[in-house]
Amino acid sequence: MATVTALLDLRIKPESVAEAKETVESVLVATRAFPGCIGVDVLVDTEDEAHLLLIEKWESIEHDQAYRDWRATDAGASALSTIVAVAEPHTIRCRIGRKESDEAGEARPFGCRAHRLRGDGDVGVLHGGEGG
């Protein structure tokens, strides 16, 4: 089964930039411990420290969805809502796997298949297939 990568593009409130690193790292303790989480990286825009990109790797879409469902509960609620300027940051999920072998027996990679979580929790395809 192919792993899933979720990208969370966050804009931090200007008044919260100083505390953002500590808050994000404390929130990610639970994320990293969640069943199916392979790991999480945090990238900070070198030209805008209020712009963060979180890259989560999950064993499956089901693990990722279970995590998102948990975060939507009172028990899973995090402090991110206090520092994020955008009320609902978008999430893009990519599953990158391998195609069946071509005529020469060489496995060819899939293109990225990305999905966006809409506000209603449904997943809509942004693009898919090879080249796009």
Half-sphere exposure of 27 (CA within 13 A, CB side): 22
Partner residues linked to 9 by β-bridges: 53
Say how many residues make up the chain: 132
Whether 31 and 70 have beta carbons less than 8 Å apart is answered as no
pLDDT tens digits, 48-78: 999 998 989 999 889 999 999 999 999 999 9
* The domain made up of 4-95 is a member of CATH 3.20.20.150: no
0.85 surpassed by pTM: no
Residue pLDDT, tens place only, 89-126 = 555 666 655 554 445 554 444 444 444 443 333 333 33
